[in-house]
Amino acid sequence: MLVIRADLVDGIVAHARRDHPDEACGVVAGPEGSDRPERFIPMLNAARSPTFYEFDSGDLLRLYRDMDARDEVPVVIYHSHTATEAYPSRTDISYASEPDAHYVLVSTRSDECEFRSFRIVDGVVTEEDVSIVESYGVVESYMFAHTGADDVPDNA
């Protein structure tokens, strides 16, 4: 399960809407071993494309250097799909290489927000629940029901 603060969800969705019709991408870093997303880092989509995203290789190096210096890891790696559902594509799966990360997908294909989270390990996609909280350490939370057909990709 992904537990994430509401302001971070808002930030991710706002970034996706702002960059539409191009795909938006970024990271939420957190302390190593905590599984707690804390530092919102929107990245530039070097591909500037409605169907592809890519961190610039120089940006990628600086991002990892910076996270290393802070003892952080990419807890969440997010991107948007602009015309299809928020489900990992074949391309997403083939590139996914952070087995400990929550891969968050947002769809901006309609006004309705789709915000879903997945684990992608060795090419296997597992959707997980998302719990949005006001702050970490607070018991009260509510579940964010994912939208769309259950676990069925559009173009499997």
Per CB under 8 A, residues contacting other proteins are 23, 25, 27, 43, 47, 49-55, 57-58, 60-61, 64, 73, 77, 79, 81-84, 88-89, 91-92, 94-100
- Smallest separation (angstroms) from other proteins to the CB of 69: 13
Q: What is the dihedral of CA 13, 14, 17, 22, to 10 degrees?
A: -90
End-to-end Cα spacing for the chain: 24
- Smallest separation (angstroms) from other proteins to the CB of 126: 17
CA separation for the pair 69, 90 (Å, rounded): 33
- Smallest separation (angstroms) from other proteins to the CB of 76: 12
Judged by beta carbon, residue 99 or residue 137, the one nearer other proteins is 99
CA separation for the pair 108, 13 (Å, rounded): 8
Q: What are phi and psi of 28, to 5 degrees?
A: -115, 110
Taking Cα atoms as reference points, which of 144, 145, 112 lies closest to residue 4?
144
- Smallest separation (angstroms) from other proteins to the CB of 140: 33
Judged by beta carbon, residue 36 or residue 109, the one nearer other proteins is 109
- Smallest separation (angstroms) from other proteins to the CB of 8: 18
Judged by beta carbon, residue 29 or residue 132, the one nearer other proteins is 29
* Partners of 116 in beta bridges: 105
CA separation for the pair 26, 156 (Å, rounded): 25
Judged by beta carbon, residue 119 or residue 131, the one nearer other proteins is 119
Judged by beta carbon, residue 38 or residue 98, the one nearer other proteins is 98
